[in-house]
Chains A and B, each alone.
Chain A
């Protein structure tokens, strides 16, 4: 049977880099064809991010240069090279969500998130929920048909505290 990955889990943000945990993951995926990207997913899943310290080990296991491994990590938007913050809000900024007011909501949220480091607010381009726009992913959970008030309720439920809304 094919070699399949575990389902990604919500990042907890309370993990530090740990080369000992990383080693068997790297070894496991080095054995499969084209295994570098699955390896990076597995590492990030387990440890929250991909530390620069992993690059030489990955290069060796996959018989690539460090520059090549580095190039792969930096090419893909998903991979992070620093520990994740405790919370993450990804707002869809693509066209269907724009047509339903995502831009004003995003501008407001970015402003309210300023100066805090607990939650990262970022853009994502389409979550496949375009018929129930606008949508977002909050700590890995999809939410749709958002209004400013509904978004606030979801943030509160996730334990994310921002400055009060200005609009």
Chain B
């Protein structure tokens, strides 16, 4: 049997040379006269180890990382190609990947297959438990499917945490001959990358979740709207649609149910606001991404005026598991009203950054220390921003907060899409507050004044505070401005920008003095 090597083709691995590594290893193995098969997988999410090279052995897959082309000679010298026992005596050896403490400590539900298989290998997908969810769903009626999702306690992973089952029920109850399923893969929040990793690593799970939603509410057409900053994800989705047709997951007769489902992949065009659901729908219809007034909700009047389910990638990706293993298998995980798992995305100034799928309830400190291993710079961690550019900055004194939608809200923060960005003690929170305002000004859709004008004023006021001009007066002004934006904005871009600003003011007042 030829030697089997696994190398991710995830964008994160490619950005640090995975393609070059794969090509060089292939050449080197031919030079050594050894047969070797290189399988390109998604990412395990252990991103500090990228490029993670895995070798198949009788005991399982042994990992080496981070590996670059420069490591190839020493790996070969240690016996990579000649049937040596693994792990090789090599400085990059990390042992059996499945047994890695930071992999084993996770609860991999939505990401169970991610990093294991070639994401476009339909047979591999099925062999690893793919299609179990849809097979269970086709035996139920729509009402029963919705009930499973409701009972699971699943809440939208796009940021707002709205119960997914209730949304689906609304669309199911709406009368219409054409309903739509739309996947929000805009993932505009900086500090987040879980949608990207799932799309690149296991796109068929996302498609399976969307088709189940279609069966549940009576929709036969779906769209995935993916941001243009993710060219690899886009390419993967285009190919995955073809594979899904071969698996009968898409097409005129989904899994022999007699019901059809078709899927189109659409590319965003570089506008953060298009992650907001009504703006996204405008964009899908071919217009400027300007926010719509709600009501009507998209569930009643969404895409092309029809009842529409719009959910985040991870909301859909959780569904096949819920259908396959039952609502209870999901709802028993988590705490309070935050059920199931969250794909924690740890990035910024951190030693071990990556994606960790964990049940709700884990504290920030556990994530930062046990998983992250402290800052990358070796200096003390002074602040974390949780939940993207509209999320709050938290100081060390709040690191014992558990990941829980309600707990975070109590402390004027949000879990959002699960991104955690780490800063060491060189950070200046006044500058970060300024950036929050600047980002809002750049990305504002322009529909309402508090956001459009307020954010620009916010940048100016913060510039004056930073320069030390009339500080007290300008701090009062900044506070007023935040209140105006919070209360007077039509959507959460303007409405939540005060969150990072105010949290910086509250917890890091010394940076404004």
Interface residues of A (CB under 8 A from B): 1-5, 7-8, 33-38, 40-41, 62, 68, 71-72, 75-79, 94-96, 98-100, 124-133, 135, 137, 140, 142-145
Contacts and interface: CB of A to CB of B under 8 A. Distances in A.
B436 to A, nearest CB: 9
Contacts of B231: 7-8, 140
Contacts of B271: 75-77
Contacts of B270: 76-78
B63 interface: no
A80 B267 CA distance: 16
Contacts of A132: 12, 15-16, 47-48, 50, 353
B14 A100 contact: no
A144 B12 contact: yes
A71 B271 CA distance: 14
Interface string B346-361: 1111100111000000
Contact of B234 (A1, A8, A98, A133): A8
B190 A126 contact: yes
B16 to A, nearest CB: 6
Contact of B353 (A37, A98, A126, A131): A131
16 contacts: A2-B262, A34-B284, A34-B286, A37-B266, A40-B269, A76-B289, A95-B348, A95-B389, A99-B349, A100-B376, A125-B389, A126-B190, A128-B193, A130-B345, A131-B193, A133-B349
A78 to B, nearest CB: 4
A109 B419 CA distance: 28
Contacts of A144: 12, 15-16
A76 B229 CA distance: 13
Identify which of B232, B266, B304, B347 gathers the most chain A CB atoms within 10 Å of its CB: B347
A77 B288 CA distance: 11
Interface stretch (B72-80, B333-341, B406-414, B421-429): B421-429
Contacts of A37: 266-267, 269, 283, 286
Given A76-B271, A95-B385, A126 B191 contact: yes
B15 to A, nearest CB: 4
Nearest to B266: A38
B219 interface: no
A110 to B, nearest CB: 16
A130 B389 CA distance: 13
A36 B15 CA distance: 31
A83 to B, nearest CB: 18
Residue of B189, B190, B267, B424 with highest tally of chain A CB at under 10 A: B190
Contacts of A98: 432, 435
A71 to B, nearest CB: 5
A99 B345 contact: no
Contact of A131 (B269, B286, B347): B347
Nearest to B264: A2
**Secondary structure of the A contact surface, majority rule:** loop
Contact of A95 (B187, B283, B304, B435): B435
Contacts of A99: 348-349, 421-424, 427
A51 B287 CA distance: 19
Contacts of B376: 100
Given A98-B435, A144-B15, 11 more contacts: A5-B238, A41-B228, A71-B288, A72-B286, A125-B389, A130-B353, A131-B47, A131-B193, A132-B12, A143-B16, A145-B16
Contacts of A127: 11, 229
A132 B234 CA distance: 21
Contacts of B44: none
Contacts of A142: 11, 14-15, 232
Contact of B188 (A5, A8, A126, A145): A126
Contacts of A128: 11-12, 187, 192-193, 196, 229-230
B272 interface: yes
Contacts of A129: 11-12, 15, 193
The 5 A-B residue pairs whose C-beta atoms are closest, nearest first, are: A131-B353, A130-B347, A94-B190, A36-B286, A77-B270
B33 to A, nearest CB: 31
Interface string B266-280: 111111100000000
Given A72-B287, A99-B423, A2 B14 contact: no
Contacts of B348: 95-96, 99-100, 130, 133
A137 B270 CA distance: 14
Contact of A130 (B191, B283, B284): B191
A79 B47 CA distance: 32
A103 B423 CA distance: 14
A34 B285 contact: yes
Nearest to A75: B288
